[in-house]
Amino acid sequence: MAFYKCPPTDLSFITPKTRKEVQYAVSYTYNGGTILGDEWYEGYEVPPPLLSPGYVILGIGVGLELNARPPLATGVVVPESRLTPGMRYMNISGEWKRVPEQEEKNGD
């Protein structure tokens, strides 16, 4: 399988105090492939976006923009300190994680 290799989206300059909506390139495999120039590819291979330390991307449940080449995802860059229980986020390593729910304390 041949994938068109793309550089990561550089979001490291985005350091909002609260939040900033962003779009970033993502890996994607097309059903039937795609042609770029005169070459045929299965899809795109894109590393995770570059983030500044202490920042994460929140998933906001919006679909991919598949007409873009490479496809784009939409998310929100926030300071890691603003995460609350249950939020799904991508860390600086490109891993999707979820903030654990807080355990309720018994009256014991």
Local confidence pLDDT in tens for the 108 residues of the chain: 699 999 999 999 999 999 999 999 999 998 888 888 899 999 999 999 999 999 999 988 788 898 888 999 999 999 999 999 999 999 988 999 999 987 655 555
pLDDT at 105: 56
pLDDT at 107: 56
| H-helix or E-strand spanning residue 38 | none
pLDDT at 75: 92
| Residue extents of the structural domains in the chain | 3-98
